[in-house]
Amino acid sequence: MRYQNLARWLKHSAKAVILLLSVTGCDDLATLADPNAHLPPCVEQNCDCGDFVSQDLAQLVLDEFQGDPYYLDGDGNGRACERLPQSTPALDWETYFSNNPHIALGNPSHAGQENIDNYIIDREQYVLAYSQSHGVLRWASWVLSRDWVGQTERQNDFRPDGILPKGTYQVTPGDYTNSGYDRGHMVPSADRTFSKKDNSATFLMTNIFPQTPENNRGPWKELENYCRDLLYQHNKTLYIIGGVYGQKQTIAKDRVIPPSRTWKVIIIFDGEATIDNVTYDTEVIAVDMPNGDRLDEQWQLYQTSIDRIELATGYDLLSDVPDAIQIDIEARLSDY
C-alpha cells in the first residue's frame, strides 16, 4: 500500500513539473494555471464532510480557506471532518485484465473480483466497478459510437443484477421508492438503443445510483445530450467514464448510500476509441458536480480537470494511455 501511495505522488509530481516546464514565463504561468488545481472540485460550489474520501483531503481544504467557510471543523480544534478515514485508500493491486473495448484506456480503481467493494462487472455493453457496502457503482466506462445507437425504445425494466456474487445484497427498484432520489443511470439508456438487449442492460440496478432530480434532469441530462450531439451531428466517437463519490444520508434501510458528487470524463475521437488514437491533441471534457438540489442547468459551469477528479476519488484515470500524453491531457482544465 505504501508503494502505491508513493507511485501516486510521483505521478502527480511529474505532472506538475511538466506543466511548469511547458510555461516560458511567470506571467504565462499565472494565466494558464488553475488556481484551484491542487484542490478537489467541491471548492467551486460548497464542500461538506460528505464530499471527501479522506480527512487529509478535507484538511487540505480547511487549511486553504481562512475562517472555515465550509464548516468542516465543527468543534474548532483545527481538524476537519475527523470521522473520515485519515488517508485516501490505496488502489487495490491490479489483478483483472480484459480486452473489452469499454475499458481500453484503463481500469480506474483497479477493480477485480476479489474485493466486493471494488467488484468489476464486465459486460458487452459496458464495464463498471460496484461497491457492496454502498449499494451503488463506483464508476462505469463505455464507448459511445454509431454501433451502439438505433431505434430501440426505452425498456424500463429496472431489476436486480444477478451477476453479483452469492450472498451479496441485491438492490431492488423498490429500494428507491419514496427516497427522494431518481433511479439515475450511469450508462444512459439512450446510449444503448441498437437492440433491446443492449438497452435492457442499462436498467440493471448495478448501473443505477440515487440521483437527485435536479442533477438527473438538469445539467447531467444536458451533458448526456451534448455527448449524443457530438455523435450525431459531428460524427465523433466517445470514450466515457462516469462515476460517483462521497456520501449522504442512507436509504433502503441503510443498504444504499447516495453519493454527494457525480463526475464524468469524456474522451473525444474522430476514429476508433483506442489507445493508439489518443494524442496530445485529443479533446477531453471533465465534469464534477454536486448530487444536490441547487444546480445550474448549464453543465459547462461544473467543468474541471481529470487531475482534480483523481484527487477527489483516489482513482487513476486513463492509466493505460502513454504517460507523457496522460500527464498532458489530465492536467488541462476542461473548457467547453
- Summarised one tens digit per residue, pLDDT across range 301-333 is 999 999 999 999 999 999 999 999 999 999 999
Q: Which domains does the chain have, with CATH numbers?
A: 90-331 (3.40.570.10)
Candidates 102, 134, 185, 234; catalytic one: 185
State which residues of the chain have pLDDT below 70.
Answer: 1-33
Give the burial class of 229: count Cβ atoms within 10 A of its Cβ; 0-12 exposed, 13-18 middle, 19 or more buried. exposed
Q: What is the CA radius of gyration of the chain?
A: 19
pLDDT at residue 158 in the model = 98
- Summarised one tens digit per residue, pLDDT across range 294-303 is 999 999 999 9
Known active-site residue 102: no
- Summarised one tens digit per residue, pLDDT across range 26-45 is 434 333 568 899 999 999 99
User: Nearest-CA neighbor of 215 among 140, 290, 266, 287?
Assistant: 290
How far is residue 200's CA from residue 215's CA, in Å, rounded to a whole number?
Answer: 23
Q: Is 184 strand, coil or helix? A: strand
